[in-house]
Structure 1
Amino acid sequence: MITERKQYELFGYVIFEKVKIETPFKIPNPVPNEACFLYMLEGQIDYQIQQQSISVPVNEAVLLKCGSYFSQMKSNELSKNNQIVFVHFHPEILKKIYETDLPKIFQQPKLANQNIDITPINTDFLIQKYIESLLFYFDNQILINEDLLIIKLKEIILLLCQTKNAPVIQQILSQLFSPTSFTFKQVIENNFYQHITIDQLAQLTNLSLSSFKREFKKNYDDSPANYIRNKKLEKAAELLLISDERITDIAFDCGFNDLANFSTLFHEKHNQTPSNYRLDQIAK
């Protein structure tokens, strides 16, 4: 659960944000065409992108690939409170602030590797000082203006260019200007168990809500709400049998925020409570 969020926008896009989150949480990446620098101020999170996962402990940072519909950020079981700083890289903003003089780090590398989705960042002295400066401005919002936001955005880009893994960073950032396209069904099926609304899912497919519902009906012969709810309940039933996780955790992992609502829906589908379903199936 997000308990506090401070954001700064530039030309209508969120560029900098500081977020405090209590466990448990699982947050999908709702913005397909961007890259994101993530720095852990407190706690530890686990990031999952398709088949790749990485843990980000306190005082460490990662850069995430643009165009990743399929990423999710999940709380680490050992960390109850988490505080994170994000810097977002939007191609529209970068083109605007650099005009025709984009830094080399955004240009296509000679040996592009399309399989890199996430990379750790070497949080050296300069990166640490940069984060400290952002925290100062988050605490002194009256000092913020458009020119300062542009300077701070350009500053982190310059620092990333100087890190040890700059070639890998270039492979990720260059894709901001050639984002990967995903099919409608890929987007849907990689977000079945996410904590997002139908409206947000429609946004990921770049369709209006009415067009999204029509396309969904054409592909799955069902409404989005009914089909996705059933997929979540099927997954929950499977996990009840093959794992020892608590029912609360299973419900959360399958995309249910409310245990009472999950139990009601599960009973409607299986005519049993989740706990009785687990006991009966094991007994068989």
Structure 2
Amino acid sequence: MQKTSLSLFGHVFAESFTLDQEFRLPSVMRNDACLAYVHTGKQEVYSSTQKLVIKDRESILMKCGNYIANFVDITPTSQFKSVIFHLDPESIKKAFGDKDLSFLKISERRKGIDPALKIDRSSLLDSFVQSMQPYFENPDLANEALLSVKLQELVYILSNSGKNQLATQIIGTLYSPEEIAFNEIIEANIYHSLSISELAHLTLRSDSTFKRDFQKWYKQSPAKYFKTKRLEKAAELLTTTSLQINEIAWDSGFENAAHFSDSFHTHFGKSPKEYRI
């Protein structure tokens, strides 16, 4: 990984990085939020309630919280390049100084807002990211006064984006993550290919606490519950769609078609192909 960071008021404000191999990691944003912008490549982001995918020139605005980031489809000839902008609340207040920040309503809590918002391609955001490139190449030029202006510019761009109402709502609650019920996180991620450790991460629990709470809630182990639910969905897709077997496996939360076929046969006594007939 190649990474360059720019700091403002003692906090990392912007990071530019390049990956030359596929990578997956849990991400924790306790006291700040961020905007992830993809130059080239593909990134999957799993939050407590959803999975979002961004590609070239797309972005995700994320509230503080726990996420799983998955960087995929990377080859030696196809690198992943991205820029992340951290939206630290104290840095925003310092950058704006005496200017009116009421449009952000940072202290207000709203319910029913997803923790992450996908932002489609925008020439305005493209231009902003491009304007940051000289400072990644020459970090010594990125002084406090200049980065303060860039942070203000970014906040204004986000609050006036094509989805400005949703973006402003998310910005307004960036630092007040909602308490999402344990079962809501589970139900939202049943068909996502996440490990037990990754699910525990999204629920803010250790692996052991996650398994204990899961057993209390569902009266069975996570492995058994997820396999059963995924196989039931696969069976439904086999009889109601014309999707290929490997597509059904993926849509049901299985990463490997061969493993899916074996599990399906063990559970239903028939192969997926036989079940469909």
Per-residue displacement from partner, 1:104-139 (whole Å, max 9, x unpaired)?
2653388978547636467345x334323555677x
Q: Give the secondary-structure state (helix, strand or coil) at the position aligned to 2:192.
A: coil
For the 8 Å contact 1:70–1:187, the answer to whether it is kept is: no
| 1:1-284 → structure 2 map (5 Å cutoff) | 16=15, 18=17, 35-42=33-40, 58-59=56-57, 61-66=58-63, 83=80, 85-89=82-86, 93-95=88-90, 97=91, 101=94, 103=96, 104=101, 106-108=104-106, 115=113, 118=117, 120=119, 123-124=122-123, 127-132=125-130, 155-162=150-157, 164-165=160-161, 168-279=166-277
Q: Secondary structure at the match of 2:173?
A: helix
The alignment's TM-score, normalised by the length of structure 1, stands at: 0.66
CA distance in 1, matches of 2:200, 2:68: 16
In structure 2, distance between residues paired with 1:211 and 1:54: 27
- Greater displacement, 35-44 / 62-71: 62-71
Q: Residue type matched to 2:239 in 1?
A: L
Q: Note the alpha carbon deviations across 1:197-242, whole angstroms, 9 max, x for none.
A: 1011111111111111110000011111111111111111111111
Q: Take 2:127 and 2:107, find their aligned partners in 1: how far apart are those partners?
A: 29
Please tell me whether the aligned partners of residues 30 and 200 of structure 1 are also in contact (alpha carbons under 8 angstroms).
no
Letter in 2 for 1:258: N
Identity %: 24
Mapped partners of 1:203, 1:30: distance in 2: 9
Quick one: structure 1 residues 199 and 113, their matched pair in 2 at CA, closer, same or farther if it must change by over 3 Å?
closer
Q: Is the 8 A contact 2:4 2:16 kept in 1?
A: yes
> Residues 225 and 56 from structure 1, CA distance in 2 versus in 1: closer, same or farther, beyond 3 angstroms?
closer
Name the SS for the 1:231 alignment partner: helix
Which residue in the other structure is 1:282 paired with? none
CA distance in structure 1 between the partners assigned to 2:185 and 2:222 by the alignment? 13
Q: Which runs of 5+ in 1 are unaligned?
A: 76-80, 280-284
User: CA contact under 8 A between 1:46 and 1:73: conserved in structure 2?
Assistant: yes
Change (3 A) 1:223 1:175: same
- 1:119–1:168 CA contact under 8 A, matched in 2: no
> Where in structure 2 are there 5+ consecutive unaligned residues?
73-77
Give the counterpart letter for 1:16 in structure 2.
Answer: E
Q: Distance in 2 between matches of 1:184 and 1:226?
A: 18
Per-residue CA distance 1:136-183 (angstroms, 9 max, x = gap): 677x5xx668x7799769724533314634665332112122211100
Q: Distance in 1 between matches of 2:51 and 2:12?
A: 27
Matched letter for residue 159 of structure 1: L
Deviation at 1:85, TM superposition (A): 2.7
CA–CA distance in 1 between the matches of 2:243 and 2:17? 31
Q: Could you tell me how far apart the structure 2 residues matched to 1:150 and 1:266 are? A: 60
Alignment RMSD (CA, Å): 4.8
